């Protein structure tokens, strides 16, 4: 809790993670302030998704420390589920539960984890569907929705748990171009509401509209970080310049 | 060459031959054979004797099959969850059991269950009961356990134990395959919402996996029905045992075995039609 004095909500210190012989993360240090929108970019295999997955313990770091909202991820005693309930995650492949309707998708974890009553959970679910702009799809099943709609349901599902932090793992990479905007709009409005967000994405539109800080990763390390304006107009390292020249 | 592509449309004979050759002749043949046998049941005295004697075994066969199958499903689910468990002990016990059972012939398992597992298991339970009587608040449980008696478990009960033991291993593998066929992202999404492993299994993974394994579970119901004929080795009066008895006393082998085959086929074919129906329904669903 000591770190809260300067409003830091996620502290990442010297984190390493190996998958067999490949080094996904080799010493990453950064932190995220409350209400900050941090965007992580980098080539594939640079470790950006692994870093994100370490924050909500889908992967456990090998060494280093991650403290989320005052709770250390690395300690054995830590109740993983307690941390995860505070950290919402949105996946590239949406990962909606196909056997449940949209409403049931959003209600399930509220009832099971947050122990809310059915009536209360459904009320929250409908509010969140309104929030992401598809209240009329409550009774549809995931396979009846477009990719953009599915991803918005996934965001609503995570938000319904009232997380303090939202993680986005390439949320628009599996979408058709014309559906990207509807998802980004939801994310931008979420950022404007003051949600703490860590976003792995290459959407420059989102970077310009909502990001406070950009982190560029390559080969398991942070190469460069800075404000979006500085980062895009005035990159310092050659590696960053080479990467930006390819994606812009 | 272009002309030859259009040929099938001009010659209208070809589709007719195709339709004709696609007829389910095999089903027709089975139906005809069944009709002949049913006709014999009505008109032929020795067939009539056979069906009225052997037919009483149908109830036993169905009872043994369904009881053993339900037990195998429960055991199989527990073992199947062990097969995908990250808990070393749970995984190894489940895998040990499955590998052991799948390598032993069903008849041997049934004999083993009837003459080793059930008596030894009862011995252990009565010993436990005697011990529990000494503990004041568990005395009632202990009393009940000591009352268990091998004489009270008839051969059909022991046969059920054997069949269930063997089939639990098969169902375990069906459940394991079903669970593993569910995309990894489903577990990650459930866990990232704060659910623990058991909650994620129960509310997210298993409902999807069970829907997927319905067809193989149905096929195993048919298989256990057929394998239930092995319990005749324990002299349980099922279809097979009564058929053997009928042949022994009447010397009409043809009638006895035709009747047995007829009874089994009626049940298996109806079941397989039911399985196909369920399969069609679930594959159409979401």
Quote ipTM for the complex. 0.90
Over residues B175-187, the mean pLDDT reads: 96
In Å, how far is B82's CA from the nearest CA of chain A? 21
Query: What gap in Å lies between CA A8 and CA B236, rounded to an integer?
Result: 74
pTM of the prediction? 0.85
Does residue B77 fall inside a structural domain?
yes
Residue A158 with chain B: CB contacts under 8 Å:
192-193
Q: According to the model, what pLDDT value does residue B284 have?
A: 57
Contact call for B190 and A109, based on CB within 8 A: yes
Of B185, B189, B194, the CB nearest to A113: B194
Calculate what percentage of chain A has a pLDDT beyond 70. Answer: 98
Of A82, A91, A99, the CB nearest to B189: A91
Nearest chain A alpha carbon to B184: A95
pLDDT, chain B, mean? 87
Does residue B27 fall inside a structural domain?
no
Contact call for A88 and B192, based on CB within 8 A: yes
Whether B186 contacts chain A with CB within 8 A: yes
Contact call for B185 and A113, based on CB within 8 A: no
- Planar angle of CA A172, B212, B183, nearest 5 degrees: 30
The count of domains in chain B is 1
Contact call for B193 and A158, based on CB within 8 A: yes
Over residues B6-35, the mean pLDDT reads: 71
Strand ranges for chain A from DSSP E: 8-19, 22-33, 37-41, 63-68, 71-72, 87-90, 165-169, 196-200, 213-218, 221-226
* pLDDT greater than 50 at residue A4: no
Would you tell me which residues 78-107 of chain A have a C-beta closer than 8 angstroms to some C-beta of chain B? Answer: 81-82, 84-85, 87-89, 91, 93, 95-99
Of B183, B188, B286, the CB nearest to A99: B286
Residue A157 with chain B: CB contacts under 8 Å:
193
Does residue B56 fall inside a structural domain?
no
Nearest chain B alpha carbon to A86: B194
Q: Which stretch of A13-17, B174-178, B206-210, B280-284 has the lowest confidence by average pLDDT? A: B280-284
Quick one: CA dihedral B98, B102, B106, B111, positive or negative? negative
Q: Which stretch of A120-124, B15-19, B262-266 has the lowest confidence by average pLDDT? A: B15-19
Q: According to the model, what pLDDT value does residue B144 have?
A: 78
Contact call for A81 and B194, based on CB within 8 A: yes
Q: According to the model, what pLDDT value does residue B85 have?
A: 94
Query: What gap in Å lies between CA A243 and CA A215, rounded to an integer?
Result: 13
Q: According to the model, what pLDDT value does residue A2 have?
A: 44
Does residue B253 fall inside a structural domain?
no
CATH at B175: 1.10.3720.10
What SS3 state is found at A200?
A: strand
Residue B282 with chain A: CB contacts under 8 Å:
none
- Planar angle of CA A186, A192, A198, nearest 5 degrees: 75
In Å, how far is A52's CA from the nearest CA of chain B? 12
Residue B200 with chain A: CB contacts under 8 Å:
none
* pLDDT greater than 70 at residue B11: no
Q: Confidence band (pLDDT; 50, 70, 90) for B278?
A: confident
Contact call for A112 and B189, based on CB within 8 A: no
Mutation target among A52, A69, A84, A87 for the B interface, most CBs of B within 10 A: A84
Residues, chain A: 248
Over residues A26-47, the mean pLDDT reads: 91
* pLDDT greater than 80 at residue B5: no
Contacts of B223 (CB under 8 A, 6+ apart): B167, B170
Domain region containing B99: 63-236
Does residue B212 fall inside a structural domain?
yes
Q: According to the model, what pLDDT value does residue B133 have?
A: 79
Whether A177 contacts chain B with CB within 8 A: no
Does residue B21 fall inside a structural domain?
no
Nearest chain A alpha carbon to B202: A112
Note the pLDDT tens digit of each residue in A180-212. Answer: 999 999 999 999 999 999 999 888 888 888 899
Q: According to the model, what pLDDT value does residue B268 have?
A: 94
In Å, how far is A242's CA from the nearest CA of chain B? 33
Q: Confidence band (pLDDT; 50, 70, 90) for B225?
A: very high
Note the pLDDT tens digit of each residue in A226-235. Answer: 888 888 888 8
Does residue B30 fall inside a structural domain?
no
* pLDDT greater than 80 at residue A224: yes
Q: Which stretch of B16-20, B122-126, B134-138, B188-192 has the lowest confidence by average pLDDT? A: B16-20
Q: According to the model, what pLDDT value does residue B45 have?
A: 87
Q: Confidence band (pLDDT; 50, 70, 90) for B12?
A: low
Query: What gap in Å lies between CA B199 and CA A85, rounded to an integer?
Result: 14
């Amino acid at each position: 809790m000591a770190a809260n004095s300067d409003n830091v909500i996620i502290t990442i210190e010297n984190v390493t993670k190996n998958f067999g012989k490949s080094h996904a993360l080799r010493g990453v240090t950064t932190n995220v302030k409350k209400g900050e929108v941090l965007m992580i970019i980098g080539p594939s295999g640079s470790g950006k998704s692994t870093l994100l997955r370490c924050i909500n313990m889908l992967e456990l770091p090998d060494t280093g420390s991650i403290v989320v909202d005052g709770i250390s991820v690395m300690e054995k005693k830590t109740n993983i589920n307690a941390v995860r309930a505070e950290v919402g995650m949105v996946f590239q492949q949406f990962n909606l539960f196909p056997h449940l309707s949209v409403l049931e998708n959003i209600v399930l974890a509220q009832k099971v984890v947050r122990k809310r009553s059915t009536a209360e959970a459904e009320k929250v679910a409908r509010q969140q569907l309104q929030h992401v702009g598809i209240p009329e799809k409550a009774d549809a099943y995931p396979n009846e929705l477009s990719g953009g709609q599915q991803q918005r349901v996934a965001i609503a599902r995570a938000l319904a748990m009232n997380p303090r932090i939202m993680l986005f793992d390439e949320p628009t990479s599996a979408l058709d171009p014309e559906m990207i905007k509807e998802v980004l709009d939801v994310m931008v409005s979420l950022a404007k509401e003051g949600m703490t967000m860590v976003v792995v994405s290459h959407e420059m539109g989102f970077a310009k509209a909502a990001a406070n800080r950009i982190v560029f990763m390559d080969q398991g390390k942070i190469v460069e970080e800075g404000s979006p304006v500085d980062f895009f107009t005035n990159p310092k390292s050659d590696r960053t310049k080479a990467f930006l020249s390819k994606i812009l | 060459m272009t002309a030859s592509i259009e040929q099938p449309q001009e010659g209208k004979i070809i589709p007719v031959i195709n339709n004709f050759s696609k007829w389910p002749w095999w089903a027709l043949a089975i139906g005809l054979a069944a009709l002949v046998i049913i006709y014999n049941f009505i008109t032929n005295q020795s067939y009539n004797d056979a069906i009225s004697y052997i037919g009483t075994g149908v109830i036993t066969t169905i009872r043994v099959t369904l009881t053993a199958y339900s037990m195998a499903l429960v055991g199989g689910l527990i073992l199947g969850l062990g097969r995908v468990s990250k808990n070393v002990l749970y995984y190894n016990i489940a895998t040990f059991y499955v590998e052991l059972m799948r390598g032993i012939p069903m008849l041997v398992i049934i004999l083993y269950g009837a003459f080793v597992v059930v008596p030894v298991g009862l011995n252990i339970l009565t010993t436990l009961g005697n011990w529990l009587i000494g503990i004041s608040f568990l005395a009632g449980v202990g009393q009940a356990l000591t009352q268990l008696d091998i004489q009270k478990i008839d051969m059909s009960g022991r046969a059920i134990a054997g069949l269930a033991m063997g089939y639990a291993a098969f169902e375990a593998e069906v459940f394991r395959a079903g669970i593993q066929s569910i995309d990894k992202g489903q577990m990650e999404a459930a866990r990232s919402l704060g659910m623990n492993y058991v909650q994620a299994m129960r509310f997210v993974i298993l409902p999807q996996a069970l829907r997927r394994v319905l067809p193989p579970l149905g096929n195993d119901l048919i298989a256990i029905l057929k394998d239930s004929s092995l319990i005749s080795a324990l002299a349980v009066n099922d279809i097979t045992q009564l058929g053997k008895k009928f042949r022994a006393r009447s010397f009409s082998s043809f009638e006895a075995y035709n009747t047995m085959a007829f009874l089994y086929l009626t049940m298996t074919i109806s079941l397989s039609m039911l399985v196909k129906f369920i399969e069609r329904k679930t594959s159409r669903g979401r």
